[in-house]
Amino acid sequence: MEAADAASLAVHTQDLAKRYGKTVALSGLTMSVRRSEVFGFLGPNGAGKTTAVKLLVGLALPTAGQGWVLGAPIGDLATRRHLGYLPELFRYQGWMKAREVLGLHCELSGMARSDWKKEIELALDLVGLAERADDKVEGFSKGMQQRLGLGVALLGRPELVLLDEPTSALDPVGRHDVREIIRQLKARGTAVFLNSHLLSEVEQVCDRLAVVDHGRVIATGTMGQILGQDGAVRVRVTGLTPATRLGLQGYGSLEDEGEWLTFRGLAPERVPELVGDIVRQGGRVYAVEPRHETLEDRFLQLLKEQGD
Ligand SMILES: Nc1ncnc2c1ncn2[C@@H]1O[C@H](COP(=O)(O)OP(=O)(O)OP(=O)(O)O)[C@@H](O)[C@H]1O
Ligand SMILES: [Mg+2]
């Protein structure tokens, strides 16, 4: 891809790789994130998620490959002003008040002094820390510190926000709040790059996602594309002979767990036909449950396929 094409994207990488000595942290990452989309970057511990974000924000240098962020080559200083970044592990000076931490970052980002107050209030409100603005960080719980980190990432209305596990320290209310904040960011046209291993979080807010393992993308697309369109149905049935059970395999890939039979890849309109067939063959049907494959099922399956 030419740099000109990359300009229309929030992020574009081509075979981006990073080694630390003998350790391959990223082995060749190729992906695109569109502007104003929420992009989930999902993978197990050690997959390379944090490394990818560090390369994108210019905190680490790639060993090979190329990348563009907001149309500029990664590491470009002027572009960094338009990025928001919540690091995975961070600690602010305990003696500073929350408001001072935000003020410091306004200053570091080169924001016009006249905008500081407004931006700081906005960030405090957005992350639910308005009441604690004048308290010192050392008295903050981990979740409050994470909220503050998120507030820092949102200062100055960045065009792209990269969040590295933003909810790892948050309670369910905090997680819900972060999802809401992400939705608000999207609504105002901000692209969000969300590193996470919380599948439900990714499932609920992301437009598209990439699954990474061992430093490379093993699946990418919308949730629908990753999960596949055809669902599955579970049927609880008794009274079928082993031979009739085998005969039902034509309806989809069959998982036989005694009374429960799961048919995968079965189109919903074929469910009545399946049930009719079972009853005709002497089966007694107690339950018919559609089963949507969850991201967790798919994620585990993808990782397993990689291991095979
Ligand atoms: N500074 C470093 N020095 C040496 N090795 C590193 C460094 N940073 C990362 N690695 C290695 O690179 C690989 C990817 O690490 P990374 O932190 O990117 O994973 P991750 O997907 O963010 O994992 P987690 O879910 O645990 O946060 C790991 O094998 C890790 O040990
Ligand atoms: Mg990480």
Question: What digits encode the pLDDT tens for the residues 90-113?
Answer: 889 999 999 999 999 999 888 999
Category of 71 on φ-ψ map: left (φ > 0), alpha (ψ -120 to 50) or beta: left
pLDDT of residue 296: 80
pLDDT of residue 136: 96
Domain boundaries along the sequence of the chain: 3-222, 229-292
Query: DSSP string covering 47-103, please?
Result: SSHHHHHHHHHTSS--SEEEEEETTEETT-HHHHTTEEEE-SS----TTSBHHHHHH
pLDDT band at 2 (very low <50, low <70, confident <90, very high): low
Residue 83 in tokens: 């990025």
Given a contact cutoff of 8 angstroms between Cβ atoms, the answer to whether 31 and 65 are in contact is: no
**Strand pairing of 38-42 and 191-196?**
parallel
Q: 79 alpha carbon to ligand 2 midpoint, in Å?
A: 23
Q: Which of 105-114, 196-205, 229-238 has the highest mean pLDDT?
A: 105-114
Q: 49 alpha carbon to ligand 2 midpoint, in Å?
A: 5
| Whole-angstrom distance, CA of residue 213 vs CA of residue 49 | 9
Q: What residue owns the CA closest to ligand 1's atom 13?
A: 25
Q: Is 114 in the pocket of ligand 1 (CB under 6 A)?
A: no
Q: Is 50 in the pocket of ligand 1 (CB under 6 A)?
A: yes
Q: What residue owns the CA closest to ligand 1's atom 18?
A: 48
Q: What residue owns the CA closest to ligand 1's atom 2?
A: 20
Length in residues, the chain: 308
Assigned CATH topology for domain 229-292? Alpha-Beta Plaits (3.30.70)
Atom of ligand 1 at shortest distance to CA of 48? Answer: 18
Class of domain 3-222: alpha beta
Closest ligand to residue 87's CA: 2
- Percent of the chain clearing pLDDT 70 (strictly above): 96
This prediction has a pTM of 0.82
**What confidence tens digit (pLDDT) does each residue in 24-79 have?**
999 999 999 999 899 999 998 999 999 999 999 999 999 999 999 999 999 898 99
pLDDT of residue 152 exceeding 60: yes
